[in-house]
Chain A
Amino acid sequence: MEDEQIIGLYWSRNEGAIRASEDKYGAYCRAIAMNILSSIPDAEESVNDTWLGAWNAIPPQRPAILSAFFGAITRRISLNRRRDARTQKRGGGQAELALDELSEIVPASSSVEEAIEEKELAGAVDAFLRTLPETERRVFLRRYWYLDSISDIARRFGFSESKTKSMLHRCRGKLLSHLRKGGYISI
């Protein structure tokens, strides 16, 4: 089924929209959830919650790219679930590792206003990503958006793991510099 048709089902409040979403994007969203949660039942719940989230968001939204839209919902739900699990001493997976890596960019002693609007920060990261070469950008997003493991990224792009790590390291350095210039971080 075409994305436009699926969106049409959501708009017409047809419950077939959820089945169609599951058929077409279930595996995609499940992979994102698994990367974050490392637990099949938790991932399954996240995906189910994704369709519910989409049901609530459409309308009024009309996503331009349905896969990214669903993926973003799954990602957020899974991160939330991971955060809750962590407080209950559960969890793990790629999200922890990704956070570790991102802590290079966000030092504990950051003196800038903590409450930067997430949307504003997302805009800055978006702008930054558009300055990167295509492959670096894709690798960065696979790691920090999809939360793929290093070995999966290396396999996907045909690189060695060390090359992948070094590419991500360079990207984080560039992002740090970009955020500093934008005043999001100052040390």
Chain B
Amino acid sequence: MTTEQLLYAIGGVGEDLVADASVRPRKRRAWPRRLASAAVFALVLTGALRIAQRLDYFSFGCSAWPGTIIGDAYYYNVSHSGLWQWTEKHGNEKLFGKLWTDGWLVTEDAYYYSHGLTLYRQDRHTGKKTKLFRLSRADATHFGYEIAENGSLILTVYHKTGEYKYQLRVDALTGELLETLTGRISYADRFTLLWTERYPEVDTRDLELVDIGGDEYTHFYDLRENGVSILPKGTCVSKYARSIGAYTAYALYPADAEERKTRSRTDSSDLLLLRPDGNDAVISAPPSGFQDAAGDWLYYVHQEDGVNGVLYSVGVYNMVTGEARELTPSEPWQFYSLETDGNVMYTCVPWGKAHTRWRLEYDAKGGPVALTLLDADICVPK
């Protein structure tokens, strides 16, 4: 047999087969294929966008933001990456990826981190991870959390479509619901305080804000301890407390509504500084505000217009003596945000990604006088 014979022989197959092969096949519709391709593309795109969103590529969180000092470790956020820890011994270590965590809270005992509406706890000593609780989608769209003085967790739960918020207290070890601190507070309700606003926590002190009225936008409050006002005579505060290290501060406003009208709502330079031991002080705040405290010293960033642009420096204020001074850095530097424990200071600027480490230098009287640069950017592995 030859190929030619085979070719001729193929010509002899049944006429029905030949006729069947001459029928033009029904054109395969292009749209199901295109639809499938479009669906896959949309799926991939959605996934990519979701990942990009989770990694902060669509937010303004790409700059450095002050971290937290606990013991000899510094915990800080790295944009598009997650929570990192820096220690002198181990350098940089990544603790949690941004992809799987939405927020963190670091305490001496544990890391608390959330993903969606679920909060987890990881013991810092044993490494054991515990799922504390999961909020229902019917009741929450997002939430925040803070650790209370008694060690419990206070959750501020938000529902952005229902437009309300409320607070819960849960056990920080088991996630058990201990107390419903507030009912649902409408976003439109300007005057009902959250529990943490109404009862500011300063150690175990029994403090409460009492509404003394205001205008249609803002109410002002008397701050009472054990039912007795602790504000300087003729003053009141807004509901916004500031944390300065371990201290809590309130800006002081005139109690008299008419007198208050003559001033801008945000124009207050006097601060009431609440200390755990009750030795409260009224101090004058610098325009940029105090950022941290260690011992009797409050730390702030001083900005001044210079010939070549804005000059930045770190200033300190002694809350007991009222003494103020600027610290001399070992190298010219730009300062904006700082975090200190009194021994080292970490600084960063929102227009950069570096976290800079400094050592605080003291004079013979124990007052901070200078900053020595230790590491220009701890984020860069050495």
Binding site for B on A (CB under 8 A): 28, 63-65, 67-69, 71-72, 75-76, 79, 83, 95, 98-99, 102-103, 105-106, 110, 112, 114, 116, 118-119, 121-126, 129-130, 134-135, 137-138, 141-142, 144-146, 156-158, 184-185
Contacts and interface: CB of A to CB of B under 8 A. Distances in A.
Contacts of A138: 20-21, 23, 25
Contacts of B2: 106, 114
Nearest to B14: A126
Interface size class of chain B, counting residues whose CB lies under 8 Å from the partner chain: 20 to 34
Contacts, number: 115
B10 A65 contact: no
B5 interface: yes
Contacts of A75: 11
Interface of B: 1-25, 27-28
A116 B28 CA distance: 41
A1 B23 CA distance: 19
A72 B3 contact: no
Given A95-B7, A156-B25, A158-B27, A126 B15 contact: no
Given A138-B21, A158-B27, A72 B7 contact: no
Contacts of B18: 65, 67-68, 71-72, 141, 145
From DSSP, what is the main secondary structure of chain A's interface residues? helix
Contacts of B3: 99, 102-103, 105-106
A41 B3 CA distance: 26
Contact of B13 (A79, A114, A125): A125
B10 A144 contact: yes
A158 B27 CA distance: 7
From DSSP, what is the main secondary structure of chain B's interface residues? helix
A177 to B, nearest CB: 15
B9 to A, nearest CB: 4
A98 B8 CA distance: 11
A163 B4 CA distance: 26
Contact of A125 (B10, B19, B25): B10
Contacts of B8: 76, 79, 118
A122 B11 contact: yes
A99 B7 contact: yes
B321 to A, nearest CB: 85
A102 B7 contact: yes
Contacts of A99: 3-4, 7
A121 B9 contact: yes
Nearest to B2: A106
Nearest to A123: B12
A65 B10 CA distance: 17
A83 B14 CA distance: 24
Given A106-B2, A138-B25, A118 B7 contact: no
Nearest to B24: A156
A94 B135 CA distance: 71
B19 A65 contact: yes
B7 A146 contact: no
Contacts of A69: 15
B17 A83 contact: no
B17 A98 contact: no
Contacts of A67: 18-19, 22
Nearest to B20: A138
A145 B25 contact: no
A79 B7 contact: yes
A100 to B, nearest CB: 8
Nearest to A83: B4
Given A118-B9, A118-B12, A122-B11, A141 B24 contact: no
Contacts of A114: 1-2
B28 A68 contact: no
Nearest to A159: B28
Given A68-B19, A126-B13, A145-B11, A105 B4 contact: no
Given A144-B10, A145-B21, A157-B25, A65 B15 contact: yes
A141 B4 contact: no
22 contacts: A28-B22, A64-B15, A64-B16, A72-B18, A75-B11, A76-B11, A79-B7, A79-B8, A83-B4, A95-B7, A99-B3, A105-B6, A114-B2, A118-B8, A119-B12, A122-B10, A125-B10, A135-B25, A137-B20, A141-B20, A146-B21, A156-B25
